[in-house]
Amino acid sequence: MATGKIKMYEENQGCGFIAPADQSDDMFWHISQVTDKELKPIAVGQIVQYDTMMGRNGKPAAENVVRVDS
């Protein structure tokens, strides 16, 4: 699993971006990929772990998003 921080969340669209801890390109994510009910409501700055999948547009996207306790 990769680690990152919620960078942006558009509540009305149910999606946003994660800034990966490894400084790679921002990762798209959708609310349907949040498996941790404790993560809701989503907070910008929240640290999360996620797996990478191939998104519909052929670019990487996050799945299995869970909160990392700090």
Split into its structural domains, the chain has a count of 1
pLDDT at 70: 57
Per-residue model confidence (pLDDT) at position 25: 92
User: Containing domain of residue 50, as a range?
Assistant: 2-67
CATH label of the domain that carries residue 52 = 2.40.50.140
Give this prediction's pTM: 0.87
Q: What is the pLDDT of residue 43?
A: 85
Residue with tokens 């509540």: 11
List the pLDDT tens digit at each of the 70 positions of the chain: 999 999 999 989 989 999 999 999 999 999 888 887 666 677 899 999 999 999 888 889 999 999 887 5
